[in-house]
Amino acid sequence: MTELRVATEFSRYLGGRYRDDGPWSGEEFREDFLRPRIERAIKSHGVLHVVFDGVAGMPTSFLEEAFGGFLRTPGIDVVAVRGALKLDADDPDLWPYLKLAEKFMDQQAKRR
């Protein structure tokens, strides 16, 4: 099991959807952090825990682009990604956003 702590490894202040929207976007997170770490986790038959504790907020367009967008990537193995990716937060304020991110991934998985 490996961990990706968003607040310390990426940013406490998550941005918008695309790189053009400014720093710390969902697209930047997906391409530069999430994709390489998930690929490594799948190769090693492990699980990547993305931990959101410490972030100042979770913009919904960031979440959609990072997680829903990841499952839109052509050629990706949706089942392997869903098995290798877990979203976590101990902070109760973040729980609805974790459920939302999972919902975004489920919606994209159903569309494929």
Partner 1 sequence: MVAITASPGEDNPVTAWFIDKLAPPLISGLLLTVVASVVIARSMERYRGRREHLTRAVDALRLQLAAVQSLGAEYWSAKLTVPKALAIEAELEFTLQDISALAKISAPDLWKTRDSEGPSLVAELLDKVTGPDFGKPTHVPDLNRVREIATRAALLSAKLTTDRHRFMSKGKLFG
In the complex, the residues that contact partner 1 under the rule CB under 8 A are 16-17, 21, 57, 59-61, 64-65, 68, 89, 92-93, 95-100, 103-104, 107
Contacts of 79 (CB under 8 A, 6+ apart): none
Nearer to partner 1, 45 or 112 (CB): 112
Shortest gap between Cβ of 21 and partner 1 (angstroms)? Answer: 8
Whether 59 and 97 have beta carbons less than 8 Å apart is answered as no
Shortest gap between Cβ of 28 and partner 1 (angstroms)? Answer: 14
**Upper half-sphere CA count for residue 80 (Cβ side, 13 Å):** 13
Shortest gap between Cβ of 40 and partner 1 (angstroms)? Answer: 26
Sign of the dihedral through C-alpha 99, 102, 108, 112: negative
Shortest gap between Cβ of 102 and partner 1 (angstroms)? Answer: 8
Within 10 Å of residue 18's Cβ, how many Cβ atoms?
14
Distance from chain centroid for Cα 81: 11
Nearer to partner 1, 14 or 41 (CB): 14
Nearer to partner 1, 28 or 65 (CB): 65
